[in-house]
Amino acid sequence: MTALSHQAPETQALFLALNNALPQTQCTRCGYPDCASYAQAMAEGQAPINQCPPGGQAGIERLAAISGQPVLPLNPEHGTEGPRHVAIIDEAWCIGCTLCIKACPTDAILGANKLMHTVIEPWCTGCELCIPVCPVDCIALENVTDTRTGWAAWSAQEAQTALARYASRHKRLAQEKAAHQARLINEAEHTLADLPAHTKGTDKAPEMDRKRAIIEAALTKARAKQNQG
């Protein structure tokens, strides 16, 4: 998620307004890793306002009104405006690889390793990020808004739901990373506390010294990363 602490108050306010005007599909089609990063780039004058296909022309007009920039046509390099889609998994072909789960920015795919996956439709933003990672091509996109496109196919409530799901996913990933780091530190500390049991050979002293140096260096690095998190 984008940090705001380094921004001037007026830039922060502009960032928040621009971010709230984006559809929060987190599709990366704008060329940035998420909607917040694109909003920050626009707020800092580093990106034009016409790079969001899901928002469409109506979205560009919203961004123009907020930023004071002139209305532009959607840049075709980032895609075209179209109806909203949701991902559909062909469960008969799904191999349970979990790659789509890892790619989904809103945790809208339910499943586990080697088990069938399914899409939770209200949480799917149609970002399409699950499509290229599927090794068996069992994911398709289904048009759910007919001819309605842009903000006519996407409500403010849906955008807020997507943003909340995206933030929740980031929090979950951070917690999982912290827990993993804590487990590694705990395992290293246990090994360090009983090096003889983890060292083979008749002359253990040199090998123990070598292992101790490696583990202590790894622990120092791991604890520093843990404190930074």
Cα–Cα distances (Å) from 162 to 24, 27, 51, in that order, read 6, 11, 19
pLDDT, residue 191, reads 79
Determine the structural domain holding residue 196 and report its residue range. Answer: 169-228
In-domain check, residue 150: no
My answer on whether 65 and 97 are in the same domain is no
Question: What's the structural domain count of the chain?
Answer: 3
Q: What is the CATH number of the domain that holds 96?
A: 3.30.70.20
Q: For 170-205, how does the pLDDT look when each residue is reduced to its tens digit (9 = 90+)?
A: 999 988 888 878 887 887 778 777 777 777 766 777
Which residues does residue 140 pair with via DSSP β-bridges, in sequence order?
88
Q: For 39-77, how does the pLDDT look when each residue is reduced to its tens digit (9 = 90+)?
A: 999 999 999 999 999 999 999 999 999 999 999 999 999
In-domain check, residue 151: no
Calculate mean pLDDT across residues 22-46. 97
Q: Phi and psi for 87 in degrees, rounded to 5?
A: -80, 140
pLDDT, residue 224, reads 78
Task: Give the tokens for residue 182.
Answer: 């804590």
Calculate mean pLDDT across residues 136-161. 96
pLDDT band at 88; cut points 50, 70, 90 = very high
Q: Is 140 helix (H, G, I), strand (E, B) or coil?
A: strand
Residue 36 pLDDT > 90, yes or no? yes
**Single residue among 33, 52, 78 that ends a domain in this structure:** 78
In-domain check, residue 50: yes
My answer on whether 64 and 95 are in the same domain is no
Calculate mean pLDDT across residues 17-44. 97
